[in-house]
Amino acid sequence: MSQYIYHCQDCNKEFTHQHHMADAGKVEVACPHCGSKLVHQLVAAFSAVTPKKS
């Protein structure tokens, strides 16, 4: 499972969405803020990144 960052062109907000890499480009991602599907992917961040606080 990878986490992707999307930007909504309708409300100009960014949000993250998780889906399998195999589904990249196939899944329909809708903005959680306004429900628009006019979103585009900014970067893909692997969920293996686990910030640790010491």
Nearer to Zn ion, 20 or 33 (CB): 33
**Positive or negative torsion for Cα 43, 48, 53, 54:** negative
Interface residues toward Zn ion, by CB under 5 A: 8, 10-11, 31, 33-34, 36
Strand 2-8 to strand 14-19: parallel, antiparallel, or no bridges (unpaired)?
antiparallel
Q: Which two tokens stand for residue 15?
A: 């949000």
Nearer to Zn ion, 7 or 19 (CB): 7
Number of residues assigned to the chain: 54
Give me the least distance between CB of 15 and Zn ion, in Å please: 8
Nearer to Zn ion, 18 or 47 (CB): 18
